[in-house]
Amino acid sequence: MAHRTSAQDVVKAVKDVDFPAGKDDLVQAASRSGAPQEVVKALRGIPPEQYANREEVARSVRTAADSDLGLSPAQQAEQARAGGRPGQSQHLREVPKPPVEEELDR
């Protein structure tokens, strides 16, 4: 699964939000702004917390490994593997299908 969402896309989608803001506010603002579905989906994957600014939001969303978050190459690779902060956006992580699912897909 390729993650094409960039940090710039996320920040642009929530540019009109008054911070601090919660997850639901961010998702609604992105939908209203006409953000791509992938950005809205990525925002749905963040934890239900209060975010102080756009940078916190961008760092919590799983983005493409080459997004410009000012991270070192090692940090970019870690975010691409695990996504955001530890324990976040688990439903977006790439994991192999269990054998049962593979059998059902045939």
Beta-bridged to residue 51, according to DSSP, are 21
Q: What is the average pLDDT value for the chain, to the nearest integer?
A: 76
Q: What is the model's pLDDT at position 74?
A: 76
Query: Residue with structure tokens 């939908």?
Result: 31
Judge contact between 30 and 64, C-beta under 8 A: no
Question: What does the pLDDT look like over 11-49, one tens digit per residue?
Answer: 889 988 999 999 999 999 999 999 999 889 889 888 888
Q: Is the pTM above the cut of 0.75?
A: no
Q: 78-106 burial, b if ≥16 CB within 10 A, otherwise e?
A: ebbeebbeeebbeebeeeeeeeeeeeeee
